[in-house]
Amino acid sequence: MSPVEWASRVAKEFEYNQQDVRQATRHFIKQMEEGLERDGATMNQIPSYVTAVPDGTETGLYLAVDLGGTNLRICSVNLHGDSTFSITQSKVAIPVSIITARYFSELFAYIAEQINIFLQHHHENLLQKYQDSKDSSPGHIQKRLLLGLTFSFTFEQQALNRGTLLRWTKGFNIPDAVGQDISAVFQTEIDKLNLPVLVVALVNDTVGALLARSYTSPGRTKTLLGAIFGTGTNGAYVEKMHNITKLIRSGKFAEGEMVINTEWGAFDDELLVLPTTPYDLAVDTESVHPGIQMYEKRISGMYLGEILRHTILALVSTTTSIDVPLDSKLNQQFAIDSSFLSMAAADDSTDLSMLRKQLNVSFNINASRELAEAVKILAVAIGDRAARLAGVAIAAIVLKSGRLSVSGCDEPSKPGGTPQPRNENHAGKPISTSLGRSHEKIDGQDIIDIGVDGSLFEFYPGFEDGIRSTLKDIDGIGYEGAKRIRFGLARDGSGVGAALVARMAEQES
Ligand code: ADP
């Protein structure tokens, strides 16, 4: 069998048909509901305590700190109140000694010092004013700058500004941190430096993406969902409070709506509906945490290159005609970045010159046109399946929100949608409609706005088209429903989103 024939056959294993997406979407809604009902479900569905999304009229100057990976970002965000903002930021790589420090306080002592440097550099006048006001009239201290911390690790949230770390990921390892009140430790270190800064909000990055998009969304349309398709994948959406049973039981909330961080990377970790090829299995087995984040392992930037690498290795093993040197990087885990898939998918030249060049430069493989074509077939199959799968999460959330069944004239847009009460709580009383209402219309019907962040969505050719193809396949959305769904990039989500939550905390206090 020729490489192209082999690749075409394997590509079929990555096809994800209409029946598959329908079944997966139903299962996704089921797992969303289970997560809202109880702790410890497959999808965590973590309440964010954010009970309003912005409409672009918000104003003020706030600080934001983004701690999510190898870099630490510190920003001051000025919200202008007209859907625009200006942002000043600095970025530093976090030293390994801090990432694996003995005490949690060491991490925040480092961050506080970086804030100090940032303020001295960019907001010296504020520092001075604060110092002066303290010296002259101790009773009238200059108002402190409010800070939102974007903390992209799994934490359990107890209030807008309170959360405890559940576990570290991404190479962080400070055992002392688990179970500690993140904001409190942070504030203690800020106070030691006598900085005019108050930590008022703890934000997950997807919640930040949702809020940032909602602030900048055209036509002041409030956003339903913030989704990330980058190194990992996750989403946060607006849920009706009466559906968040686990929170209602606590007696704290009854009405209105709240943003939920789904942690959808773990969707169907049981593998009841997700497609699983031998290549998916290989990627999972070799991963640091086998058996978890199964949805993420089929969709996100961290893993797509790995899936492709395993298919190419399998292709090579079928023939002696492809020469892969023993020391080729192709034999190393994570040697293929997902940007390679984008490049392969975008190479439309007749002789696939770019792809062949990359195979040579990156993997020392002297690729014939035929081999390059086979690699392209595999890359496109893997990338397109990821996009179709990404559409499942979006379809499920759109359906569950019930927003498609409410058109501009309150008529169902299409039969078959999941019926959801829209403006009523369990007792049939009207509830607050302050969250996520959209007023912009397409063909007289409300737009459903979705904010997306992440290089995969931004750069993989046709990722949005793949998502849309899923949406069209779903009963209750279809072609007409998909037309009403608008995607927009949620830029600077971790900075602007954290600033917006800091503002929210200020309004609530
Ligand atoms: P974050 O780490 O915050 O998610 P990004 O959104 O930039 O940052 O996502 C990084 C991921 O995106 C990496 O896994 C990288 O492989 C992938 N990526 C970067 N550029 C591209 C591209 N052109 N096409 C597809 N994936 C890309």
User: Could you write out the DSSP letters of every residue in 217-250?
Assistant: -GGGPPEEEEEEESSSEEEEEEEEGGG-HHHHTT
pLDDT tens-digit series, residues 344-400: 999 999 999 999 999 999 999 999 999 999 999 999 999 999 999 999 999 999 999
- Is the domain of 75 the same as that of 7? no
Residue 43 lies in a domain: yes
Q: How many domains does the chain have?
A: 3
| Nearest protein Cα to ligand 1, atom 8 | 230
* DSSP E strand boundaries for 27-84: 46-47, 59-67, 71-80
Residue 209 lies in a domain: no
Residue 370 lies in a domain: yes
pLDDT bracket for residue 140 (50, 70, 90): low
> In the predicted model, is pLDDT for residue 128 greater than 90?
no
> In the predicted model, is pLDDT for residue 437 greater than 50?
no
Residue 414 lies in a domain: yes
Q: How many whole angstroms from 321 Cα to the centroid of ligand 1? A: 33
Residue 376 lies in a domain: yes
**Residue bearing tokens 């900048």:** 216
- Is the domain of 446 the same as that of 300? no
Q: How far is residue 204's CA from residue 261's CA, in Å, rounded to a whole number?
A: 7
- Whichever domain contains 378, its CATH number is 3.40.367.20
- Is the domain of 242 the same as that of 381? no
Ligand 1 near 458 CB (within 6 A): no
- Is the domain of 351 the same as that of 309? yes
Ligand 1 near 196 CB (within 6 A): no
Residue 136: its pLDDT value, please? Answer: 64
- Confirm whether 422 is a catalytic residue: no
- Is the domain of 418 the same as that of 363? no
Percent with pLDDT over 70 in the chain: 91
**Contacts for 349 with CB less than 8 Å, ≥ 6 apart:** none
**Maximum distance among all Cα pairs of the chain, rounded to whole angstroms:** 85
Residue 325 lies in a domain: yes
Ligand 1 atom closest to Cα of residue 232: 4
Sign of CA dihedral 93, 151, 25, 421: negative
Q: How many whole angstroms from 302 Cα to the centroid of ligand 1? A: 8
- Among the three residues 364, 386, 408, which one is the final residue of a domain in this structure? 386
- Is the domain of 262 the same as that of 343? no
Q: How many whole angstroms from 409 Cα to the centroid of ligand 1? A: 41
- Give the residue, 416 or 113, on which the prediction is more confident: 113
- Whichever domain contains 133, its CATH number is 3.30.420.40
- Among the three residues 386, 418, 449, which one is the final residue of a domain in this structure? 386
Residue 328: its pLDDT value, please? Answer: 94
- Is the domain of 437 the same as that of 484? yes
Q: How many whole angstroms from 237 Cα to the centroid of ligand 1? A: 22
> In the predicted model, is pLDDT for residue 61 greater than 50?
yes
- Confirm whether 410 is a catalytic residue: no
**Ligand 1 pocket test: which of 336, 339, 453 has the largest number of ligand atoms within 8 Å of its C-beta?**
339
**Bridge partner residues of 453 (DSSP):** 228
ipTM above 0.90, yes or no: yes
> In the predicted model, is pLDDT for residue 438 greater than 70?
no
| Nearest protein Cα to ligand 1, atom 6 | 454
- Is the domain of 400 the same as that of 439? yes
Ligand 1 near 417 CB (within 6 A): no
**Ligand 1 pocket test: which of 455, 458, 460 has the largest number of ligand atoms within 8 Å of its C-beta?**
455
Q: How many whole angstroms from 279 Cα to the centroid of ligand 1? A: 21
Q: How far is residue 285's CA from residue 150's CA, in Å, rounded to a whole number?
A: 31
Among 84-98, 373-387, 418-432, the range with the most confident prediction by mean pLDDT is 373-387
- Confirm whether 328 is a catalytic residue: no
| Nearest protein Cα to ligand 1, atom 22 | 339
Ligand 1 atom closest to Cα of residue 301: 14
Name the catalytic one among 9, 38, 102, 167. 167
Ligand 1 near 183 CB (within 6 A): no
Residue 341 lies in a domain: yes
Q: Are 397 and 235 in contact (CB under 8 A)?
A: yes
- Is the domain of 285 the same as that of 403? no
Alpha helices in 329-415 (DSSP H): 338-346, 353-363, 369-401
Range of the domain at 231: 27-49+218-270+389-493
- Is the domain of 109 the same as that of 195? yes
pTM above 0.90, yes or no: no
Q: Are 204 and 166 in contact (CB under 8 A)?
A: no
> In the predicted model, is pLDDT for residue 439 greater than 70?
no
Q: Are 178 and 153 in contact (CB under 8 A)?
A: no
- Give the residue, 239 or 404, on which the prediction is more confident: 239
Q: Are 447 and 484 in contact (CB under 8 A)?
A: yes
Ligand 1 near 301 CB (within 6 A): yes
pLDDT tens-digit series, residues 151-200: 988 888 899 999 999 878 767 889 889 889 999 999 999 999 999 999 99
Alpha helices in 67-103 (DSSP H): 96-99
Segment 105-131 shows an average pLDDT of 92
Mean pLDDT value across the chain: 89
Q: How many whole angstroms from 398 Cα to the centroid of ligand 1? A: 25
Name the catalytic one among 48, 83, 152, 469. 152
Ligand 1 near 460 CB (within 6 A): yes
Q: How many whole angstroms from 303 Cα to the centroid of ligand 1? A: 11
| Nearest protein Cα to ligand 1, atom 17 | 301
- Is the domain of 481 the same as that of 419? yes
Residue 429 lies in a domain: yes
Among 70-84, 310-324, 375-389, the range with the most confident prediction by mean pLDDT is 375-389
- Is the domain of 171 the same as that of 305? no
pLDDT bracket for residue 146 (50, 70, 90): very high
